[in-house]
Structure 1
Amino acid sequence: MVSERQLTLDGIRGLACCAVLASHYLAELPGGIRAFAFGAIAVDVFFVLSGFLIGRLILTRRAAPNFFRTFYIRRLLRTVPSYLIVVVITLALAALLPEWAGDTGGVPGWSHLTFTQNLFFARQNTTGLEWLSPTWTLAVEEQFYLFAPAVLVFLPRRLIIPVAIAVFSASLLYRVLMATSGASPLAFLPLLLARADTLAAGIIAGVLWFKLAGTKHFDRILEATPLVSLLIAVTVGALASSNIWQSTVAHSLFAIGAAAFILRAAVSPDAVRWLEARWLRFMGDNSYSIYLIHMPVAGIAHHLIVGTHPALTTPLAWLATAVATVATIVVGRGLTRCVEEPLTAFGRRFSWDQPKVSSPRIA
């Protein structure tokens, strides 16, 4: 039976969480240091990891008679309450402090409550309320949770990888067509179809895990693939004359590299014990809450200390960023401890029923 928790995968989640914080707090703002702009790669890693974990879980439990009820109850309790708390509080603050909220670009507040904000981001060509802008990734994941179980439960196991490869290819083709047509990256990158290759790559890795677990097959390939993928993506991206590469093929290369890295960590955890460092696992354990709150906390810290939006242009702004970093980790841990962990534990009370075994025929 598959363990629901692997320390090395928590470490990967922690790395991605740190990369998002570094990108949003140190790079993607006025006066930022572009060398810390790892956010796009981190998002792809999160998507691949979701595809891997959800795909592996579904393939393990899909024979359970109560699969759909248990799956959706557990997912809802694990992800939705913390999300709604943060969204409601942030929307309330935005209503009370319109100068802090800024221009929402026509993205309605209710779209965040229904996990449809990514559709409005693409339609309006804006990220809406800045402090909730990263939540488009959570909308993509929730939409993925709606479709993936139905496909993976009823699809014959031998067809899962071919179908996932087809989805991967269709997603890449969609991005290429949109980018070459002159569409802004924001008009398509927040959509599920545009990120389906990363999720599909995770599902493929999840299927391969069942074949490779406990073996040393393909270890060298799994070790080399992330480095080769990253090197190609970064090198070609630096030489490209437009951003088409970054918004199209680069994401697919990151997905392939991340899938290989995750699969290697899941198959041979002894080879990557450094991922089990306590600080990485701490960040991984609390990554969901930290990801939810890191932008509103940064906005509030800079508003109270500096009186402006986040930037790194003055010593006082750096102080606000330091305060925001500490506050994000502390509050994020509190949200995990008080909301996410208790509700996740409650969700585990909804256990998986054993598959029914057909009675033998009597001659």
Structure 2
Amino acid sequence: MRSLAAASDASPPRLVELDALRGLAALVVALYHFTAEYSDLYGHSAPLWGEAHFGKYGVQLFFAISGFVILMSLERMGRARDFVTSRAARLYPAYWTAVALTFTVVSLFGLPDREFSFQTALINLTMLHELLRVPHVDTVYWTLTIELSFYLLMFVLAYARALPRVISIFIVLVVLQTLAELAAQAMGMPFVARFAGRPHLQFFALGVLAFKQSRGEVSAASALALVGVCFAHEVLVGSIAPLPVFGVVLGLCYALSRGALRWLTWRPLLFMGFISYPFYLVHQNIGYVVIRRLEAAGWRPEAAIAVAFAVGFLLATLITYRVEQPALRGYRQWRRRARTQAVVMPHVA
């Protein structure tokens, strides 16, 4: 996902394999939702050829991609506050559109246990609704809360000019996260344990490490230490993903840092990466509505799933070209004007 929400701000030469990975992750997550999760929630009208249970772990890859992309973005920005405005311009217009579309479709056509009030939809527009204990208009939004937590952390590090020490800081943070979860579990406080683990720092850390390795800015000892504490977290505490998922994400991050994923740059996969953030936001509940309607009309589940994918691709493409990209162009023009005025004013004075 353009992070699962973050799109690449990379200067040329662009790491197009990031887009390919993002597109691949979005596809496997959607495949999981339309097969295994839909079967659990509503039941398909006929047995499927197969269910993509593995796809649920695509979000861990999204988190690692965010670690890579966000550090890359921050290191090329002159001011930390520019990071806040650029993230807002990139995330919110597509998100607002997705909330409005999903709420409208579900309200019109119905979807059991996923119909919410207009007030709930309005609060969702803040992207902070989970912190307010307001339900998600679409359950995929849970990852956005995780992403925002990571963005806040990285902004604080950038503002404090601590990015040159980011690997050491992440080693400490992952250790503290692990100790907090272990202590909370030992004292019988599962809520605190879940809260301590929400940032999923171990996966973001792998992406941060991959970026630093791609620049040749991290020693072997520091890299091994960070991987070691992340692995220890997975062994001692665990996460929503089984241990092999950590190994797969680690391997992909290492390959990315060494430029070994350029073979992934297949044009359709790159386009999927380009539209992946809007696709992620709109595919699930709208896709469920499509599948329910078509299967009720006698369609085979596989055909209904194919149409749900097509609808997701179409909506994501429209949002990308009619909402997201125009919003980004407008933001960049505004920033250029602001910089020009900042340069001109001292001379005029």
CA distance in 2: counterparts of 1:152 and 1:176, whole angstroms: 29
* Contact preservation (8 Å) 1:12, 1:284: yes
Structure 1 contact 82–339 (Cα < 8 Å) conserved? yes
Cα 1:75–1:194 change in 2 (3 A) is closer
- Which residue of 2 is the match for residue 322 of structure 1? 306
For the 8 Å contact 1:201–1:256, the answer to whether it is kept is no
Check 1:72–1:118 CA distance in 2 against 1; reply closer, same or farther (3 A cut): same
- For the structure 1 residues 153 and 39, does the alpha-carbon distance in structure 2 shift closer, same or farther, using more than 3 Å as the test? farther
Q: How far apart are the structure 1 equivalents of 2:159 and 2:210?
A: 17
Using the alignment, how far apart are the partners of 1:46 and 1:88 within structure 2? 24
Counterpart-to-counterpart distance in 1, 2:50 and 2:148: 31
CA distance in 2, matches of 1:194, 1:175: 12
* 1:206 corresponds to 2:211: yes
C-alpha displacement of 1:211: 1.4
Matched, 1:42 2:58: yes
SS of residue matched to 1:3: coil
TM-score (norm 1): 0.71
Q: How many residues align?
A: 311
1:262 paired with 2:253, answer: yes
Q: Name the structure 2 match of 1:58.
A: 74
Residue identity matched to 2:273:
G
Q: Using the alignment, how far apart are the partners of 1:255 and 1:118 within structure 2?
A: 26
Go from structure 1 to structure 2 and tell me whether the alpha carbon gap of 1:201 and 1:333 turns closer, same or farther (over 3 Å shift). same
CA contact (8 A) 1:175 1:248 kept: no
Matched, 1:339 2:328: no
Measured at CA, do residues 101 and 42 of structure 1 come closer, stay the same or move farther in structure 2, by a change above 3 Å? same
Aligned-residue offset at 1:43: 0.4
Q: Contact 1:90 / 1:296 at 8 angstroms: preserved in 2?
A: yes
Contact 1:171 1:193 survives alignment (8 Å):
no
CA contact (8 A) 1:115 1:139 kept: yes
- 1:305 is aligned to 2:294: yes
1:102 matched to 2:118? The reply is no
User: 1:104 Cα shift?
Assistant: 6.3
In the TM superposition, what whole-angstrom CA distance separates every residue of 1:116-175 from its partner, at most 9, and x where no partner exists? 34446xx69xxx45x600111122212322331121342444532111112223334445
Look up the equivalent residue of 1:325 and give its one-letter code: F
Hey, which bits of structure 1, 4+ residues long, moved more than 6 A? 104-107
Contact 1:6 1:266 in 2 (8 A): no
Aligned to 2:7: none
**Where in structure 1 are there 5+ consecutive unaligned residues?**
237-243, 309-313, 357-363
Q: CA-to-partner distance for each residue in 1:40-72, whole Å, 9 max, x for gaps?
A: 4210110111111111221232xx2xx234322
Q: CA RMSD in A?
A: 3.9
Aligned to 1:241: none
Q: Provide structure 2 residue ranges, at least 5 long, that are not aligned to the other structure.
A: 1-9, 344-349
Helix, strand or coil at the partner of 1:91: helix
The answer to whether the 8 Å contact 1:52/1:203 transfers is yes
Letter in 2 for 1:82: A
Amino acid at match of 1:20: V
